[in-house]
Amino acid sequence: MRTKQNLERIILEIYTKMYKETVPVLDFDEAVSSGLTSKPNWFMDYYLGMDRQKEIFDVVVKKHGCSRYEIKKLDSAVWLGCSPSGIKKGSDIK
């Protein structure tokens, strides 16, 4: 069982990889240090398709050899956290 800090590092790795591929591209570490991530709903300005987000998530948890229990915890944290928008701005989806 990993510590909370270890799981948080994995979450940060997932977000870092996701935001490297968003439109527009974002350096997640720089966004955290600049305070951008403290603004409400900032992540809605960045798009990455849900299929690609899931691929990144799966690759990172596999790389770290996460257990099913850890994957469930990470899954909740990532998708309820600040993952990029999976819907392009201006789309007709409501």
Judged against a pLDDT cut of 50, whether residue 94 lies above it is answered with no
> Burial letters for 23-34: b for 16+ Cβ neighbours within 10 Å, e otherwise?
eeebebeebeee
Q: What is the pLDDT of residue 69?
A: 96
Q: What is the pLDDT of residue 89?
A: 74
Q: What is the pLDDT of residue 88?
A: 81
C-alpha–C-alpha distance, residues 21 and 25, integer Å? 6
Q: What is the pLDDT of residue 92?
A: 54
Helices assigned H by DSSP within the chain: 4-19, 28-34, 50-63, 68-80
Residue 26's contacts (CB-CB under 8 Å, 6 or more residues apart) are: 19, 20, 46
Predicted model pTM = 0.91
Q: What is the pLDDT of residue 22?
A: 97
18 with 83: CB under 8 angstroms? yes
Query: What digits encode the pLDDT tens for the residues 2-52?
Result: 899 999 999 999 999 999 999 999 999 999 999 999 999 999 999 999 999
